[in-house]
Structure 1
């Protein structure tokens, strides 16, 4: 029996797969039309003098608080998870609310654009950028599968008959193994579409094929399919009542990251270019903004390893004109990480001593980040403050009140610069299928990177992929308040930061030079792409942005 095409449902995977890329910004156009804003503090001083340059003023013409929190949380998605055999009520309401771009059309556009990008690459003869000339990248496999799925999903049926020829696009250059992987991805897409339509039994049949033919220790494509299939299976079990949803305030992905042992962390740091490219770029920017200061205070937001701190220490000791009288670090962390943070402090103190650098380390421990207060940081009157935020704010997107409190505290401290590292992805859609496709292509690029950079470090690679798997699980299997992974792109952060009179300042040519110089040191550095987006940098893999690094000052 032929499977329904679900044309009347609120969610349809084919519509997501049609238009990714430039069209993705239009998907949430209804939620992103902003006008007016309220700022903390005056725009003019007491004498009526204009405080902002025209360029700065333009950056600050952004949304009201309620509109921006809707941008972060996509209010419809904050309801408790409650799937039935019918389309979820909040999805139907969201579709009605966002009439400018219906979820069906938006979904179809998302997937079709992925496929069309592969076609453009084929025409440019750059479809095989990996070191192995006989193998295309993991993300490109996904694009081919998306294109095929959009064009031929109508021919799928419950006995798993999949038309293999012709496809309407020239994919004849794929190997037999690559074609099998494309076919397997099609099963995954089919399962996701049916899950989005609450057709769990049909989804289970397709998903079983994925699980039987993928492994956590096979090719990057199979590994991606394996982890996404696991997450889909859990979502199905929840939808059928086989698994009870348990609320938790913990972000399991962040917990696993913090608990990675030193060997894995160092191996990752040594082999994958992303962290070092962004660290050296950010540290160079901080050094430039405290160039004439002798007492420097760095507020480190929940960074356990302190690797970037050692880079900053070395840079400060190399200064010729202004000898550092005191370098102070205040680490902010949850009480559960107290032992690790204190050990990091001791290690940094020993390193500072070896450099003859006057050093002070303080740790602020809280049971909840909502408890943060300005007085916790003990800022000296003659100290200049910089803030380093490595992937910290993403964990607060699901907690707007906590985010508001933190940003007000930082605004009151008035650092000379704030460096923000974040994941460059849109994993915060209220629609399951949108999140699924965004996550599928994002993690495909990440797994492709791990497959190249850590090919000979199998044990470490699998531990890192276990962390990524938790992120996939959170995005795909969870719903409502249970979902902690809510990555948003730099444009969303810009709108949010504008509320706190934060102005993006960009990076100097020296910082950009540092980024490219570091990148060249890696064996696979040529696949790590560094591109400018406005004044920030987007760091990615084979052209797919994965991370952003931006610099800000407070007015």
Structure 2
């Protein structure tokens, strides 16, 4: 079974749309084992109440064609390490100077003797955080630096990616900020002689992004009037219906304006109340068509789901009763993939597939998903049971609620769920205590591979800008600009994420992401280790990429035993498989 992989020639999701879319003692014991100390991500001995996630001061034919076949290894994945946190602001300029390999692209930056503002984007270590991107910029991407200003000579006929535009703008911004104070007067025509080979649109886009950098710097310095003037210039050029650079700037500019309104007291408590009522995860459950379009149109979710399901199938090869616990089921489409895989298993026939969905809200939506899954299971002739475990508070989630039987093999599935608990470490700890008490044979985790949890505004801003730039670039590749589903994805989901990351502080900032190294340390505290993804699981990822014909853009890397799914080298998602020691 280990060397077998499901091969699919087409996905045909439209064919299924008609049916499918329209514990406390354990924690105490762990504390005793560790001398009363609890896990701290910062490596300190004493308990940190937020787990070290940065303490804040304030059978439908055509659905999927499965057949087993041997797959040749299409090449090994390179090991890569991704930084977890942004470096200290005080050392950035010095660190930039040490990056000798970048000096041909960016001249040495000499700190001015005048007193600098405390939070300057020019002092953020852009080149250190995103240095690999600059290597690609003048290497793989064939953008060759000159010996003068941070200019770029672009290969004729090649269009810059959204992220490359961001990097060039960031390079020019660092250079210009090292010599004078950036303002509207200076930025009116910043690229008359700095960039060669760029189209008029690309030149304008780079200038637009530099205005965004400058406005964010002024916000960080609490120079709100100057920031507002710069944002007005951004508003003249950006658009939520334009090219991906213009769209990204539109949402970041909008978020910066809200931050200014919050900081100056211009936003009302009524407005804040409306924001607090919005739940991104719940909105995803209510947006079937947009989510389905995203699933069909771009490769990320299919890569993680097919690879993750392959890992579950392999771990359940001899199980006759399979129990899946889904911590955030949403539309549950991934389980139709599992059903089709299990339906072809003849050596060890399946007696029962049980799925338990956990939720705190929207019970009717989860039950509707259960009915669709039950209907699909019937077409596949699979004995199926669906149960909803609703709790008003995740602290109330207990082992006995799942009704796990002795002859069942249990797998936990967490797709973009744990991130929602970062702000509530006690609940996250409680959930993991329950998982440990059940002791599943496997836990599959998919998360956003980004650091959007820094308490420093400028760090979050830069990290988010490059992350969403890559994502918007991907949407530009696979979806038309006037696609209504793309507009929903960008405005409702990405726009809300950008707003939360940029505009909010403290407990009000609900959207928080951390990278796999942070999760690895967290899981280790509960006695979990990541396990190797089989070649079959990796082949699933490669097959999806080939299906989308995006081998040159969608990247697969390994961080330890975890799969990092990226776009043009920028990490987007992580897929990892965990077991208890």
TM-score, normalisation: structure 2: 0.77
Match of 2:421 in 1: 396
Report the number of matched residues: 475
2:375 to 350, 359, 366: 350
Match of 2:116 in 1: none
In the alignment, structure 1 residue 372 sits paired with structure 2 residue 397: yes
Contact 2:134 2:167 (8 Å CA) reproduced: no
Q: Residue 50 of structure 2 aligns with which residue?
A: 69
Mapped partners of 2:381, 2:33: distance in 1? 43
| CA contact 1:428–1:486 (8 Å) conserved in 2 | yes
Deviates more, 1:141-150 or 1:371-380: 371-380
1:416 and 2:441 matched = yes
Structure-2 change in CA distance of 1:172 and 1:208 (3 Å): same
Gaps of 5+ in 2: 1-28, 35-40, 59-85, 93-120, 144-153
Partner of 1:191: 215
From 253, 263, 267, the equivalent of 2:280 is 253
> CA separation in 1, counterparts of 2:130 and 2:233?
23
Mapping for residues 157-236 of structure 1, pairs under 5 Å: 158-162=183-187, 164=190, 171-236=195-260
Q: Do structure 1's residue 452 and structure 2's residue 433 form an aligned pair?
A: no
Q: CA deviation at 1:518?
A: 1.7
Name 2:291's counterpart in structure 1. 265
Query: How far does the alpha carbon of each residue in 1:511-542 deviate from its partner, in whole angstroms, 9 at most, with x for none?
Result: 11111012111143541111111000000111
- Which one of 293, 301, 304 corresponds to residue 275 of structure 1? 301
What is aligned with 2:91? Answer: 105
Structure 1 residue runs of 5 or longer lacking an equivalent are 1-37, 44-59, 80-99
Q: Tell me the alpha carbon deviations over residues 401-446 of structure 1, each in whole angstroms, 9 at most, x when there is no partner.
A: 1101111011101000000000000000010000000000000000
- Kindly report the root-mean-square deviation, in angstroms, between the aligned alpha carbons of the 2 structures: 2.6
Deviations 1:338-373 (A, max 9, x none): 111111111111111111111100011122222211
Residue aligned with 1:455, SS = coil
Residue 550 of structure 1 deviates from its aligned partner by 0.3
1:325–1:61 distance in 2 versus 1, CA, 3 Å: farther
Tell me if structure 2 keeps the 8 A contact 1:520–1:526.
no
Change (3 A) 1:194 1:265: same
SS of alignment partner, residue 421 of structure 1? strand
Deviates more, 1:140-149 or 1:448-457: 448-457
SS at the partner of 2:56?
A: helix
Give the one of 95, 111, 135 matched to 1:120: 135
**TM-score, with length taken from structure 1:** 0.80
Structure-2 residue corresponding to 1:513: 539
Greater shift, 137-146 or 108-117, is seen at 108-117
Alignment of 1:382 with 2:368, yes or no, is: no
Change (3 A) 1:395 1:325: same
